[in-house]
Amino acid sequence: MQLAQEYRVGLISCYCKPLLPVLNIGIYDVDFSEFLINGLSDQNKYCGDWATNYVIQNAMVVGTSLVVVIINIVVCTFFEKIVSFEKNHTSNDETKGQF
């Protein structure tokens, strides 16, 4: 027995993730036509939807890390530049002004 479409969640990763390194872009063509729902074959491309979400999630993880690094670089550069406007007389005072 197969669950209705709205209840089929969570297990698709176990099926599609091992196929990703083997099929690469072909993961978007995997269908589930061998499974019948009310006597009709299921033509949905669940692995394609899963692969899209998987790529977006991994891109978000990498993207948020890059955003933090870029913000740190910009802020540090900004503070190093504005300390020169303080007219410190020694480099020690200038170093203290950066912090």
Among 59, 58, 62, 82, which Cα is nearest to 70's? 62
C-beta of residue 19 within 8 angstroms of C-beta of residue 3:
no
C-beta of residue 46 within 8 angstroms of C-beta of residue 14:
no
Task: Please report the pLDDT score of residue 8 as a whole number.
Answer: 64
Task: Please report the pLDDT score of residue 58 as a whole number.
Answer: 94
- Three-state SS annotation for the chain: CCCCHHHCCCCHHHHHCCHHHHHHHHHHHCCEEEEEECCEEECCCHHHHHHHHHHHHHHHHHHHHHHHHHHHHHHHHHHHHHHHHHCCCCHHHHHHHHC
Tokens of 71: 């913000």
Read off the pLDDT of residues 38-94 as tens digits, 9 standing for 90 and up.
Answer: 777 778 888 998 999 999 999 999 999 999 999 999 998 998 888 777 766 666 666
Whole-structure pTM value: 0.63
Domain ranges for the chain: 5-98
Task: Please report the pLDDT score of residue 56 as a whole number.
Answer: 95
Task: Please report the pLDDT score of residue 43 as a whole number.
Answer: 80
Task: Please report the pLDDT score of residue 64 as a whole number.
Answer: 97
